[in-house]
Amino acid sequence: MIYLVVKAVISAVIIVAASELAKRSPAFGALVASLPLVSVLGMIWLWRDTGDRLRLAAHAEATFWYVLPSLPMFLAIPAMLRAGLSFWLALVIGVVLTAVLYVVTATVLARFGVDL
């Protein structure tokens, strides 16, 4: 149980740090948020929990493929905000766009033998 709390606290501290840095400098906050810290922590926790090389390799590869369809969200949300949409509506549309692109990505990759 303590291990789960430690994992949650470390992960939360990184998220809070990124949001606090963004208040002072949007660019620096974005830099911290864009670092693959969640992915690296996920790999560390997965390795610590399983020690399974093949599972970790599959996780890292799937992470790569799932990052690609998430990227358009980071262009769509600012465009919608600049066009006058509310934050929450822009966020919901961005998340839905990403979910659709995840499905499209998984479907296309499956045709090429990449199983996510």
pLDDT attached to residue 81: 98
Mean pLDDT over the full length of the chain? 91
Among the listed ranges 35-44, 64-73, 75-84, 91-100, which one has the minimum average pLDDT value?
35-44
Q: How many CB atoms lie within 10 A of CB 63?
A: 16
Q: How many CB atoms lie within 10 A of CB 80?
A: 17
User: Which tokens hold the place of 84?
Assistant: 């006058």
Encode 5-35: b = buried (16+ Cβ within 10 Å), e = exposed: eebeeeeeebeeebeebbeeeeeebeebbee
pLDDT over 80 (residue 90): yes
Task: Give tens-digit pLDDT for 8-44.
Answer: 888 888 888 888 888 988 887 877 777 788 888 889 9
pLDDT attached to residue 56: 95
**Across residues 81-88, what is the average pLDDT?**
98
